[in-house]
Amino acid sequence: MLLSAASPVLAHPVPFSYLDIHLGATSVEGTLVLHDFDVAHEVALDTPDALLDAATLHLRAPYMARFISGSPFLPFSCCLF
């Protein structure tokens, strides 16, 4: 009976970038999720919507690659004890 009184929940996009690491018995896997606001800021775009333009992506791709490869995430070895 209480369920009928529950109000709907609205979701929103993840507002931050993160690295999701999964440690297996013999492997380490990860997923890097970059929020469009973070990428736009790092590659000097005025708005995240500019990332939807193919020409802009082509021009900014080298900057995005440097941003991703230079991310300040801790190396895997620091997490394994």
- Per-residue pLDDT reduced to its tens digit, 7-28: 666 666 657 888 889 999 999 9
Residue 4 — pLDDT band, cuts 50, 70, 90? low
Residue 7 lies in a domain: no
Domain of residue 56, residue span: 34-72
Residue 49 lies in a domain: yes
For the chain, what percent of residues have pLDDT higher than 90? 28
In this prediction, residues 33-62 reach a mean pLDDT of: 90
Helix%, strand%, coil% for the chain, nearest 5: 45, 15, 40
Total count of domains within the chain: 1
pLDDT of residue 63: 86
In this prediction, residues 33-40 reach a mean pLDDT of: 88
pLDDT of residue 33: 85
